């Protein structure tokens, strides 16, 4: 039996990465296309096929409305929270103002966890193939500033993709078995593991993580085996997508000034422009200027229009300065919350593709007074850290790594005055348990509704409602005995919350585990998981069907070529079954019966045996023996004929 592995996955906005620890080394696993980065893109074709990763990204220009990217920005979010993100994507985002976002493709709706699960499944299949066995356990990373709903949506996606959400692990030293939930860790914390695993000295580090869709800053104390997060902050509405959009709007506006045509209203033109601007952004990190050249981008009555524009690095930096400046305040807030000055930080670890931008690196130097550390691959470091954490979980008591993370946002309950009373403050080390016993109720109150909120605003309704539960059938209190309710908040290592309440007078209790804040029930998640497995089988069958049709088509071309070269030597009676077999293959290819296609191809090869004896003979000169056909040659065609003969 293969040794159990827990893989590490960075489920990114733009790209995703999977890694596994083997011995003392971490291996980044290439996908089915041979690439270490898998585009976080899912597409649905007009034939009902589903594409994930590189194949999905390649066809985005011609199928933009059915191509889903940046889905991470919609995870665990309600429609009224994604107004800015919705404008950045060509696909249809649906749902009521207070409803969690869904994506509509050809009349069918998909949740962000469903789409994310398709990406996770592709990574899982790559890991299965690499390790030689089915992988069921993973450590998955999320932005540090993800709220409870976003974290739960990520766990839902993992479950739909076929990962276990609860494990039983045997400690290799004590042999005791224990149950663990799937581990979700913060991306900056994962990056710190990859950076600091071999560090022997105590360091204060900051992880500056600017990715495709989110920005995180975490401040940690790192010593040998101990990774303690002191504070975290960020912006879940800021990332590389926003930088791309600024450049898209600029180029589109310049084109409109020149030609009077708004490219943003043409889905195909917009997708070409998006890809060109994304590449220009990357180029400007390496060079001081670049050209965007898109011939035949559109047309009007006067003819085709071409887009050609030069963008300089300084020009681009001016355009996006407001976005770069948005990184500054979260950094300063995290430092303040940690109780550190910028000069206290020994190392700033740069994570995320956007940190390759020179202006971003300059900002880091401005804030911290030192260059950012670029010794780790910003695209892969998070997955590497997740894989390290996965390996440490398997070690149990033998693990030499202790990871102490924090909750990114405050948690509390809403009271009658409308205020949110905080039970657990942001940046509290997790796992943690906090209790308050000073909540009162009216003497005649028999039911207490306890709403649970997450956020930093003083009024409860300005924060995010995670859930609510009731204390029922409470007795009336005796005069002079003010009834009190005790409320306990318990956060696990994943940042998932459990809340309980107890009426001290009667002893009545109630609780709620805030684990369905993604609004997907357990039944829905299970249904989506089964559908994902079914689709995986369907996708495999579609691939086999496509390959069979391709092989059949090649067989037709080879036989027709032989007929063209040597058919003159055969009678019409000899050629009739061959032509009939060709027609039968074409008829089978028009359908979707895999076995029928293979059988028709086999029958064609059998019918073409009459031609095979000519295939190995040198071509006859014109006028000698069989008459030469118009397509006959004396060179390379012999190679094709010989290949066909081998397939007998």
Catalytic residue among 72, 274, 281, 502: 72
Q: ω before 362 within 30° of 0 (cis)?
A: no
Catalytic-residue membership of 209: yes
Distance from C-alpha of 18 to C-alpha of 120, rounded to nearest angstrom: 9
Q: How big is the CA angle at 28 (ends 23 and 33), to the nearest 5 degrees?
A: 140
3-state secondary structure of 219: strand
Catalytic-residue membership of 503: no
SS3 of the chain: helix, strand, coil, percent, to 5? 40, 25, 30
> Smallest Cα–Cα separation from 245: which of 212, 287, 217?
212
The owner of tokens 């905080």 is 422
> Smallest Cα–Cα separation from 405: which of 152, 238, 226, 211?
226
Sign of the CA dihedral running 501, 502, 503, 504: negative
Residue 78: CB atoms within 10 A of its CB come to: 17
Q: How big is the CA angle at 192 (ends 187 and 194), to the nearest 5 degrees?
A: 100
Distance from C-alpha of 607 to C-alpha of 611, rounded to nearest angstrom: 9
Judged on CB neighbours under 10 Å (0-12, 13-18, 19+), 273 is: buried
> Smallest Cα–Cα separation from 249: which of 263, 233, 267?
263
Catalytic residue among 85, 148, 156, 209: 209
Buried b (16+ CB within 10 A) or exposed e, 134-160: ebbbbbbbbbbbbbbbbbbbbbbbbbb
Catalytic residue among 81, 187, 242, 380: 187
- Contact between 227 and 205 (Cβ < 8 Å): no
| HSE of 589, CA atoms in CB hemisphere, 13 A | 19
Distance from C-alpha of 153 to C-alpha of 71, rounded to nearest angstrom: 12
Catalytic-residue membership of 173: no
Distance from C-alpha of 109 to C-alpha of 524, rounded to nearest angstrom: 14
Distance from C-alpha of 290 to C-alpha of 275, rounded to nearest angstrom: 14
- Contact between 483 and 503 (Cβ < 8 Å): yes
The DSSP element (H or E) to which 312 belongs, if any, is: strand 303-312
3-state secondary structure of 124: helix
3-state secondary structure of 393: helix
Continuous H helices in 217-304: 240-259, 267-283
Catalytic-residue membership of 81: no
| Separation in Å, CA 494 to CA 182, 262, 456 | 8, 46, 20
The set of catalytic residues is: 10, 72, 187, 209
């Amino acid at each position: 039996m293969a040794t159990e592995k827990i893989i590490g996955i960075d489920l990114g906005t733009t790209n995703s990465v999977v890694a596994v620890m083997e011995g003392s080394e971490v291996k980044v696993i290439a996908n089915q296309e041979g690439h270490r980065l898998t585009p976080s893109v899912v597409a649905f074709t007009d034939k009902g096929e589903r594409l994930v990763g590189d194949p999905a990204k390649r066809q985005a220009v011609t199928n933009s409305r059915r191509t889903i990217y940046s889905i991470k920005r919609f995870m665990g979010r309600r429609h009224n929270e994604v107004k800015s993100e919705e404008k950045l994507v060509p696909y249809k985002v649906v749902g009521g103002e207070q409803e969690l976002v869904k994506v509509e493709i050809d009349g069918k709706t998909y949740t962000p966890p469903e789409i994310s699960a398709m990406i996770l499944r592709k990574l899982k299949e790559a890991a299965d193939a690499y390790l030689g066995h089915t992988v069921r356990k993973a450590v998955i990373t999320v932005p540090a500033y993800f709220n409870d709903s976003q974290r739960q949506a990520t766990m839902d996606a993992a479950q739909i993709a076929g990962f276990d959400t609860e494990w039983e692990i045997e400690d290799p030293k004590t042999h005791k078995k224990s149950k663990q939930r799937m581990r979700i860790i913060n991306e900056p914390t994962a990056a710190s593991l990859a950076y600091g695993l071999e560090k022997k000295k105590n360091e204060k580090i900051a992880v500056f993580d600017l990715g495709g869709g989110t920005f995180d800053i975490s401040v940690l104390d790192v010593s040998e085996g101990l990774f303690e997060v002191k504070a975290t902050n960020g912006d879940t509405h800021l990332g590389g997508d926003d930088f791309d959009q600024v450049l898209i709007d600029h180029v589109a506006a310049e084109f409109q000034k020149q030609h009077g045509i708004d490219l943003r209203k043409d889905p195909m033109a917009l997708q070409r422009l998006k890809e060109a601007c994304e590449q220009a952004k990357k180029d400007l990190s390496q060079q001081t200027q670049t050209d965007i050249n898109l011939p035949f981008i559109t047309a009007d009555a006067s003819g085709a229009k071409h887009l050609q524009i030069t963008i300089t690095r300084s020009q681009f930096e001016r355009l996006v300065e407001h976005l770069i400046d948005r990184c500054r305040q979260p950094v300063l807030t995290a430092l303040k919350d940690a109780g550190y000055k910028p000069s206290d930080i020994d190392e700033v670890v740069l994570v995320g593709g956007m940190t390759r931008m020179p202006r971003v690196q300059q900002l880091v130097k401005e804030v911290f007074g030192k260059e950012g550390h670029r010794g780790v691959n910003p695209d892969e470091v998070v997955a590497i850290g997740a894989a390290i954490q996965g390996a440490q979980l398997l070690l149990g008591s033998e693990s030499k790594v202790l990871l102490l993370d924090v909750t990114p946002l405050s948690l509390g309950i809403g009271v009658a005055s409308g205020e949110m009373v905080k039970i657990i403050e942001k940046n509290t080390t997790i796992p943690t348990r906090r209790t308050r016993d000073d909540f009162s109720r009216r003497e005649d109150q028999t039911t207490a509704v306890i709403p649970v909120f997450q956020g930093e605003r003083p009024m409860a309704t300005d924060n995010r409602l995670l859930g609510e539960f009731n204390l029922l059938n409470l007795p009336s209190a005796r005069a002079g005995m003010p009834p009190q309710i005790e409320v306990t908040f318990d956060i696990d290592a994943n940042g998932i919350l459990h809340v309980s309440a107890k009426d001290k007078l009667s002893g009545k209790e109630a609780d709620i585990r805030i684990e369905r804040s993604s609004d997907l029930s357990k039944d829905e998640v299970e249904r989506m998981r089964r559908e994902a497995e079914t689709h995986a089988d369907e996708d495999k069958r579609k691939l086999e069907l496509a390959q069979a049709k391709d092989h059949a088509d090649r067989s037709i071309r080879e036989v027709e070529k032989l007929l063209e070269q040597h058919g003159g030597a055969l009678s019409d009676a000899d050629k009739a079954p061959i032509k009939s077999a060709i027609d039968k293959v074409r008829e089978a290819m028009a359908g979707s019966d895999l076995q029928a296609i293979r059988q028709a191809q086999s029958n064609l090869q059998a019918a073409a045996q009459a031609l095979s004896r000519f295939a190995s003979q040198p071509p006859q000169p014109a006028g000698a023996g069989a008459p030469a056909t118009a397509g006959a040659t004396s060179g390379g065609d012999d190679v094709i004929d010989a290949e066909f003969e081998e397939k007998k």
